[in-house]
Copies of this chain bind each other. A is one copy, B any other.
Amino acid sequence: MFYFCGLFLKIMSTNKPELYTSFSPALLHLYDVSNSIVVIIDVLRATSTIATALYNGAKSVIPVDSVSHCIEISKQIQGITAGERDGKIAEGLEYGNSPFEYPREFIEGKTLVLTTTNGTKLLHMALDKGARQIVTGSFSNLDEVCNYLLLQNLPVVLACAAWKDRVNIEDMLFAGAVINKVKDSFDINCDSSQVAETIYTQAKEDLYGFMKIKNASHYLRLSNYGLEKDIRYCLTPNTAPVVPFYEDGKLILQR
Protein backbone atom coordinates (compact mmCIF):
# COMPACT_ATOMS: atom_id res chain seq x y z
CA MET A 1 0.00 0.00 0.00
CA PHE A 2 2.74 2.39 1.06
CA TYR A 3 4.70 1.34 -2.01
CA PHE A 4 1.82 2.20 -4.31
CA CYS A 5 1.21 5.49 -2.53
CA GLY A 6 4.91 6.32 -2.96
CA LEU A 7 4.82 5.34 -6.61
CA PHE A 8 1.69 7.39 -7.17
CA LEU A 9 3.30 10.41 -5.50
CA LYS A 10 6.44 9.93 -7.59
CA ILE A 11 4.44 9.79 -10.82
CA MET A 12 2.46 12.84 -9.71
CA SER A 13 5.68 14.63 -8.83
CA THR A 14 7.42 13.90 -12.12
CA ASN A 15 4.37 15.20 -13.96
CA LYS A 16 4.77 18.63 -12.48
CA PRO A 17 6.48 21.24 -14.65
CA GLU A 18 9.91 22.42 -13.54
CA LEU A 19 10.64 25.80 -12.02
CA TYR A 20 14.04 27.49 -11.95
CA THR A 21 15.29 30.84 -10.72
CA SER A 22 18.04 32.77 -12.50
CA PHE A 23 19.61 35.35 -10.18
CA SER A 24 21.24 37.37 -12.98
CA PRO A 25 21.00 37.89 -16.75
CA ALA A 26 24.54 36.44 -16.84
CA LEU A 27 23.07 33.11 -15.64
CA LEU A 28 20.01 32.97 -17.92
CA HIS A 29 21.81 30.86 -20.52
CA LEU A 30 21.88 27.98 -18.00
CA TYR A 31 18.13 27.45 -18.30
CA ASP A 32 15.94 26.14 -21.10
CA VAL A 33 13.83 29.22 -21.73
CA SER A 34 12.61 27.95 -25.11
CA ASN A 35 10.32 25.56 -23.28
CA SER A 36 9.30 27.92 -20.48
CA ILE A 37 7.32 30.89 -19.36
CA VAL A 38 10.00 33.45 -18.47
CA VAL A 39 8.96 35.86 -15.73
CA ILE A 40 11.04 39.03 -16.06
CA ILE A 41 11.63 40.47 -12.57
CA ASP A 42 12.93 44.00 -12.05
CA VAL A 43 11.21 45.06 -8.85
CA LEU A 44 13.05 48.41 -8.52
CA ARG A 45 11.44 49.63 -10.67
CA ALA A 46 10.83 48.56 -14.30
CA THR A 47 8.39 45.68 -13.83
CA SER A 48 6.51 47.51 -11.04
CA THR A 49 6.12 50.46 -13.39
CA ILE A 50 5.02 48.25 -16.30
CA ALA A 51 2.30 46.60 -14.18
CA THR A 52 1.17 49.97 -12.82
CA ALA A 53 1.00 51.67 -16.23
CA LEU A 54 -1.00 48.81 -17.75
CA TYR A 55 -3.29 48.58 -14.71
CA ASN A 56 -3.90 52.32 -15.07
CA GLY A 57 -5.04 51.85 -18.64
CA ALA A 58 -1.93 52.21 -20.78
CA LYS A 59 -2.61 50.70 -24.22
CA SER A 60 0.72 48.92 -24.16
CA VAL A 61 4.30 49.21 -22.96
CA ILE A 62 7.01 48.77 -25.59
CA PRO A 63 10.23 47.65 -23.92
CA VAL A 64 13.31 48.77 -25.86
CA ASP A 65 16.97 48.24 -25.14
CA SER A 66 18.45 51.66 -25.90
CA VAL A 67 17.64 55.35 -25.47
CA SER A 68 18.00 56.07 -29.20
CA HIS A 69 15.66 53.19 -30.03
CA CYS A 70 13.19 54.55 -27.46
CA ILE A 71 13.13 57.99 -29.09
CA GLU A 72 12.91 56.56 -32.61
CA ILE A 73 9.98 54.21 -31.90
CA SER A 74 8.16 56.80 -29.85
CA LYS A 75 8.23 59.24 -32.76
CA GLN A 76 6.74 56.63 -35.12
CA ILE A 77 3.79 55.75 -32.88
CA GLN A 78 3.26 58.97 -30.90
CA GLY A 79 4.31 57.18 -27.72
CA ILE A 80 5.73 58.47 -24.48
CA THR A 81 9.49 58.12 -24.10
CA ALA A 82 10.39 56.83 -20.67
CA GLY A 83 13.28 55.20 -18.93
CA GLU A 84 16.33 55.44 -16.78
CA ARG A 85 20.03 54.83 -16.75
CA ASP A 86 21.70 54.24 -13.40
CA GLY A 87 18.45 54.97 -11.56
CA LYS A 88 17.86 58.44 -13.07
CA ILE A 89 15.77 59.67 -16.05
CA ALA A 90 17.89 59.00 -19.13
CA GLU A 91 18.94 62.07 -21.11
CA GLY A 92 16.65 62.77 -24.04
CA LEU A 93 13.60 60.99 -22.57
CA GLU A 94 10.44 62.66 -21.29
CA TYR A 95 9.65 60.51 -18.27
CA GLY A 96 11.42 58.24 -15.83
CA ASN A 97 10.96 54.81 -14.35
CA SER A 98 8.78 55.64 -11.35
CA PRO A 99 5.34 54.02 -11.10
CA PHE A 100 4.06 57.31 -9.65
CA GLU A 101 4.63 59.02 -13.01
CA TYR A 102 1.88 56.91 -14.59
CA PRO A 103 -1.48 57.52 -12.90
CA ARG A 104 -4.65 56.73 -14.84
CA GLU A 105 -5.38 60.37 -15.68
CA PHE A 106 -2.07 60.58 -17.52
CA ILE A 107 -1.39 57.16 -19.01
CA GLU A 108 -4.85 55.84 -19.98
CA GLY A 109 -5.00 54.96 -23.67
CA LYS A 110 -1.36 55.87 -24.27
CA THR A 111 1.67 53.80 -25.22
CA LEU A 112 4.76 53.89 -23.08
CA VAL A 113 8.11 53.25 -24.78
CA LEU A 114 10.38 52.19 -21.94
CA THR A 115 14.10 51.53 -21.62
CA THR A 116 15.80 50.67 -18.32
CA THR A 117 19.26 49.66 -17.13
CA ASN A 118 18.41 46.05 -16.45
CA GLY A 119 14.80 44.94 -16.90
CA THR A 120 14.15 45.78 -20.53
CA LYS A 121 17.59 44.44 -21.51
CA LEU A 122 16.82 41.12 -19.81
CA LEU A 123 13.48 40.92 -21.61
CA HIS A 124 15.26 41.24 -24.95
CA MET A 125 17.75 38.62 -23.89
CA ALA A 126 14.92 36.18 -23.10
CA LEU A 127 13.37 37.03 -26.44
CA ASP A 128 16.64 36.41 -28.32
CA LYS A 129 16.94 33.03 -26.58
CA GLY A 130 13.51 32.08 -27.89
CA ALA A 131 11.47 32.13 -24.66
CA ARG A 132 8.17 30.29 -25.08
CA GLN A 133 6.26 33.05 -23.26
CA ILE A 134 7.36 36.24 -21.53
CA VAL A 135 5.46 37.96 -18.72
CA THR A 136 6.67 40.56 -16.23
CA GLY A 137 6.47 40.19 -12.48
CA SER A 138 6.70 42.50 -9.47
CA PHE A 139 5.12 42.69 -6.04
CA SER A 140 2.56 45.03 -7.64
CA ASN A 141 1.13 42.06 -9.56
CA LEU A 142 2.30 39.13 -7.41
CA ASP A 143 -0.93 37.18 -7.04
CA GLU A 144 -1.94 37.66 -10.67
CA VAL A 145 1.40 36.31 -11.90
CA CYS A 146 1.17 33.33 -9.54
CA ASN A 147 -2.37 32.51 -10.66
CA TYR A 148 -1.28 32.76 -14.28
CA LEU A 149 1.64 30.36 -13.74
CA LEU A 150 -0.61 27.88 -11.92
CA LEU A 151 -3.16 27.95 -14.74
CA GLN A 152 -0.65 27.50 -17.56
CA ASN A 153 0.99 24.39 -16.08
CA LEU A 154 4.18 24.98 -18.10
CA PRO A 155 7.86 25.07 -17.03
CA VAL A 156 8.85 28.40 -15.51
CA VAL A 157 12.06 30.42 -15.31
CA LEU A 158 11.96 33.26 -12.79
CA ALA A 159 14.49 35.64 -14.33
CA CYS A 160 15.90 38.33 -12.06
CA ALA A 161 17.12 41.47 -13.82
CA ALA A 162 19.67 42.15 -11.07
CA TRP A 163 21.87 45.27 -11.29
CA LYS A 164 24.35 45.24 -14.17
CA ASP A 165 24.46 41.46 -13.77
CA ARG A 166 25.14 41.64 -10.01
CA VAL A 167 22.61 39.70 -7.92
CA ASN A 168 20.19 41.90 -5.98
CA ILE A 169 18.00 41.26 -2.98
CA GLU A 170 14.68 42.70 -4.18
CA ASP A 171 14.38 40.56 -7.31
CA MET A 172 15.33 37.51 -5.25
CA LEU A 173 12.63 38.43 -2.72
CA PHE A 174 10.00 38.53 -5.44
CA ALA A 175 11.17 35.20 -6.91
CA GLY A 176 10.92 33.78 -3.38
CA ALA A 177 7.40 35.17 -2.96
CA VAL A 178 6.28 33.46 -6.18
CA ILE A 179 7.91 30.17 -5.17
CA ASN A 180 6.28 30.39 -1.75
CA LYS A 181 2.86 30.56 -3.43
CA VAL A 182 3.25 28.09 -6.30
CA LYS A 183 5.78 25.52 -5.08
CA ASP A 184 3.30 22.68 -4.55
CA SER A 185 2.48 22.71 -8.26
CA PHE A 186 6.07 22.64 -9.57
CA ASP A 187 9.05 20.31 -9.49
CA ILE A 188 11.80 22.49 -7.97
CA ASN A 189 15.31 21.07 -8.09
CA CYS A 190 17.12 24.38 -8.00
CA ASP A 191 19.24 25.77 -5.16
CA SER A 192 18.64 29.35 -6.28
CA SER A 193 14.90 28.84 -5.85
CA GLN A 194 15.43 27.35 -2.38
CA VAL A 195 17.60 30.30 -1.38
CA ALA A 196 15.10 32.83 -2.77
CA GLU A 197 12.23 31.28 -0.84
CA THR A 198 14.27 31.09 2.37
CA ILE A 199 15.20 34.77 2.11
CA TYR A 200 11.60 35.76 1.31
CA THR A 201 10.23 33.74 4.24
CA GLN A 202 12.60 35.54 6.56
CA ALA A 203 11.79 38.98 5.11
CA LYS A 204 8.08 38.79 4.34
CA GLU A 205 6.75 40.47 7.48
CA ASP A 206 8.64 43.67 6.61
CA LEU A 207 10.18 43.67 3.14
CA TYR A 208 11.15 47.34 3.35
CA GLY A 209 12.79 46.88 6.75
CA PHE A 210 14.67 43.84 5.45
CA MET A 211 16.02 45.80 2.46
CA LYS A 212 17.09 48.59 4.78
CA ILE A 213 18.74 46.43 7.43
CA LYS A 214 20.55 44.38 4.79
CA ASN A 215 21.92 47.54 3.20
CA ALA A 216 20.55 46.38 -0.15
CA SER A 217 22.60 48.15 -2.81
CA HIS A 218 19.56 49.29 -4.76
CA TYR A 219 17.86 50.51 -1.59
CA LEU A 220 20.91 52.70 -0.97
CA ARG A 221 21.04 53.88 -4.59
CA LEU A 222 17.37 54.90 -4.77
CA SER A 223 17.10 56.29 -1.26
CA ASN A 224 20.07 58.53 -2.07
CA TYR A 225 17.84 59.98 -4.82
CA GLY A 226 14.99 60.47 -2.30
CA LEU A 227 12.95 57.60 -3.74
CA GLU A 228 11.92 55.79 -0.52
CA LYS A 229 8.29 56.25 -1.57
CA ASP A 230 9.00 54.33 -4.81
CA ILE A 231 10.73 51.57 -2.86
CA ARG A 232 7.81 51.19 -0.44
CA TYR A 233 5.32 51.07 -3.32
CA CYS A 234 7.39 48.53 -5.27
CA LEU A 235 7.51 46.23 -2.23
CA THR A 236 3.73 46.36 -1.66
CA PRO A 237 1.83 43.35 -3.02
CA ASN A 238 -1.07 43.49 -5.45
CA THR A 239 -1.46 47.21 -6.10
CA ALA A 240 -1.70 46.58 -9.86
CA PRO A 241 -3.34 43.17 -10.37
CA VAL A 242 -2.62 42.44 -14.03
CA VAL A 243 -0.38 40.13 -16.08
CA PRO A 244 1.75 42.05 -18.61
CA PHE A 245 2.25 39.64 -21.47
CA TYR A 246 4.76 40.11 -24.29
CA GLU A 247 3.32 39.81 -27.79
CA ASP A 248 4.43 41.24 -31.12
CA GLY A 249 6.97 43.63 -29.67
CA LYS A 250 4.89 44.97 -26.79
CA LEU A 251 3.65 44.23 -23.32
CA ILE A 252 -0.13 44.13 -23.17
CA LEU A 253 -2.84 42.72 -20.95
CA GLN A 254 -4.17 39.39 -22.04
CA ARG A 255 -7.49 39.45 -23.76
B194 pairs with A202, CB closer than 8 A: no
Q: 1/0 contact trace for A144-185 toward B, CB 8 Å?
A: 000000000000000000001111110010000000000000
- Considering residues A26, A165, A172, which has the most beta carbons from chain B within 10 angstroms of its beta carbon? A26
With beta carbons under 8 angstroms apart, the residue of B167, B188, B191, B218 that contacts A195 is B167
A74 within 8 A of B: no
Q: Cβ of A166: which chain B residues have Cβ within 8 Å of it?
A: 27, 30, 190-192
With beta carbons under 8 angstroms apart, the residue of B165, B167, B199 that contacts A199 is B199
A116 within 8 A of B: no
A169 pairs with B195, CB closer than 8 A: yes
Q: Cβ of A30: which chain B residues have Cβ within 8 Å of it?
A: 26, 164-166
With beta carbons under 8 angstroms apart, the residue of B167, B169, B172, B194 that contacts A215 is B194
A195 pairs with B189, CB closer than 8 A: no
With beta carbons under 8 angstroms apart, the residue of B167, B190, B191, B220 that contacts A27 is B167
A102 within 8 A of B: no
Q: Cβ of A217: which chain B residues have Cβ within 8 Å of it?
A: 189-191
A216 within 8 A of B: yes
Whole-angstrom CA separation of A216 from B172 in the bound complex: 17
Q: Interface size (A, Cβ < 8 Å)? A: 28
A24 within 8 A of B: yes
B26 pairs with A23, CB closer than 8 A: no
Whole-angstrom CA separation of A217 from B27 in the bound complex: 17
A238 within 8 A of B: no
Q: 1/0 contact trace for A215-255 toward B, CB 8 Å?
A: 11110100000000000000000000000000000000000
| Smallest CB separation, A177 vs chain B (Å) | 15
Apart from the given pairs A167-B191, A189-B220, 16 other A-B contacts in the complex at a CB distance below 8 Å = A23-B23, A26-B26, A27-B166, A30-B166, A167-B192, A168-B191, A189-B215, A189-B217, A191-B217, A194-B214, A194-B215, A198-B199, A198-B202, A198-B214, A199-B199, A202-B202
* Nearest 5 Cβ contacts at the A-B interface: A194-B214, A167-B192, A169-B191, A168-B191, A191-B217
Q: List 15 A-B contacts (CB under 8 A).
A: A23-B167, A26-B26, A30-B164, A167-B191, A167-B192, A167-B195, A169-B195, A172-B191, A188-B215, A189-B220, A191-B217, A191-B218, A194-B216, A198-B214, A202-B202
Q: Which A positions have Cβ atoms within 8 angstroms of B?
A: 23-24, 26-27, 30, 164-169, 172, 188-192, 194-195, 198-199, 202, 214-218, 220
